[in-house]
Amino acid sequence: MHRVLWITEHYPPSRGGMSQSCDRIVRGLRAAGVEVDVAHLTRRARPARPWGVTREHGGRLISAPLGDDSEHALRRLWTTITAEDLTGYTHVVAFGGVYATLAAPVLSALLDAPLVTLLRGNDIDVGVFSMRRRGVLADALRASSRVCVVARSHAPLVSALAPDAAVTFVANSVDTSQWRVLPSERERGRAWRDANVRAGRRTIGLIGQLKVKKGVGFFLDALAASGHADAFHLLLVGEVEEPVTEWLAEREDSVPHSFLPFLERYDLPAVYASCDLVALPSFYDGMPNVALEAAALGVPLIASDGGGLADVADDEIGFTFPAGDAHACRAAIDRAARAGDEQLAKLGAAGAERIRRDFTPAAETAGYLDVLDAVR
């Protein structure tokens, strides 16, 4: 049986897509019989989560607050591992982030267990070009027996830093048996539309941590230039950067829009239910949970082919364009504006079927089990 030391900065109660993904993958492996001890390098400033080792179903949770002295924290993590006699690991896994990829190669060597590095979007997209992060990333990749990516397009970036690294693509997933819109949530979505969206307009959702890489400003410029801004109502949900809010404030009358705060995952079905389309115009990306969640609920996508979006979306489930291509983005918006209700319903149904068939937790878990089996 595999016994894994899993090192991450992203694990509940931390928020965000990476934390959700980490939790999902760990739970899947534990359910498959893998014992996983999670070393959570917590970054909450105050109050700091206390150091400690607690039991979880299928393994342990090692809480390791980074605090103001990350070097001390990582060294103390090794002390905690030895003090608790946490040995006998078959693998050490680094799940993204600077400190996880910094600590994991050392712990892998000390524990005499092969290193598997799981890269998410920013780890490789930004890390490969970062003066601060590239050295740490390169060391981890070269020390890894296997590198896992969530976008096929990330493999060349890995090879640029570590030409000999073995790379495996494992897609993210969503459990469609649990991820659905309840009648009460559909009614909430309908009520929100009735209160906020003028009749005849379609709602485009932009959902999540709307960072620069997500291309929101780029999409807004394309929407304004497309001549279809008045056909849509934008719903921005999450952390929106100031330049975007300023752009929208200057166009209050010409680009209808609403804001909602960052919401936890299970508050989102009613939001998706209020959307006719969800836009993911990323310049680069991993495999966003939002893309899988929206498509699984039958919402067509307006999506670039950045990163893992190319592995999820095409014109059979939405309106796609090459990342960063402003003309093509305008054309995708134009196609979406001209699409009839029947076409949108067909795209949504095709997306829901694709996610149900190809992006399952069982397939995701099997992918990581294959990696663990192959790496000895």
- Band of the pLDDT at 329, cuts 50, 70, 90? very high
Residue 46 predicted with pLDDT over 60: no
| Domains in the chain, CATH or no CATH each | 3-173+360-374 (3.40.50.2000), 183-358 (3.40.50.2000)
Evaluate if residue 350 carries a pLDDT over 70.
Answer: yes
Per-residue pLDDT band at 44 (split at 50, 70, 90)? low
Q: pLDDT, tens digit, for every residue of 98-148?
A: 999 999 999 999 999 999 999 998 899 999 999 999 999 999 999 999 999
Residues 6+ apart with CB under 8 A from 132: 98
Cβ–Cβ under 8 Å, residues 244 and 210: yes
Q: What is the pLDDT of residue 266?
A: 86
pLDDT digits (tens, 9 = 90+) for 82-94: 999 998 999 999 9
Q: Note whether 256 and 291 are within 8 A (CB).
A: no
Q: Is residue 52 predicted with pLDDT exceeding 60?
A: yes
What order of strands is seen across the sheet that includes strand 202-210?
257-260, 232-240, 202-210, 277-280, 301-304, 318-321
Q: What are the pLDDT digits (tens) for 70-83?
A: 999 999 999 999 99
Q: Residue 362 and residue 347: Cα distance in Å, rounded?
A: 25
Task: Give the pLDDT confidence score for residue 264 in this predicted structure.
Answer: 85
Residue for token pair 């294959």: 370
CA distances from residue 228 to 1, 161, 234, 236 in whole angstroms, order as listed: 57, 43, 12, 18
At 34 the pLDDT is: 98
CB burial class (10 A; 0-12, 13-18, 19+) of residue 80?
Answer: middle
Distance between CA atoms of 303 and 325, rounded to whole angstroms? 12
pLDDT at 47: 54
Between 266 and 341, the higher pLDDT residue: 341
Given a contact cutoff of 8 angstroms between Cβ atoms, the answer to whether 124 and 162 are in contact is no
* Local confidence band at 3 (pLDDT 50, 70, 90 cut-offs): very high
Q: DSSP assignment, residue 72?
A: H
pTM above 0.75, yes or no: yes
- Predicted pLDDT of residue 48: 59
DSSP conformational letter for 50: P
* pLDDT tens digits along 190-239: 999 999 999 999 999 999 888 888 999 999 999 999 999 999 999 999 98
Averaged pLDDT for residues 4-16: 92
Pairwise CA distance, residues 27 & 19, whole Å: 12
Distance (Å, whole) CA 83 – CA 177 = 42
Euclidean distance between CA atoms 66 and 48, whole angstroms: 9
- Residue 27, classed as helix, strand or coil, is helix
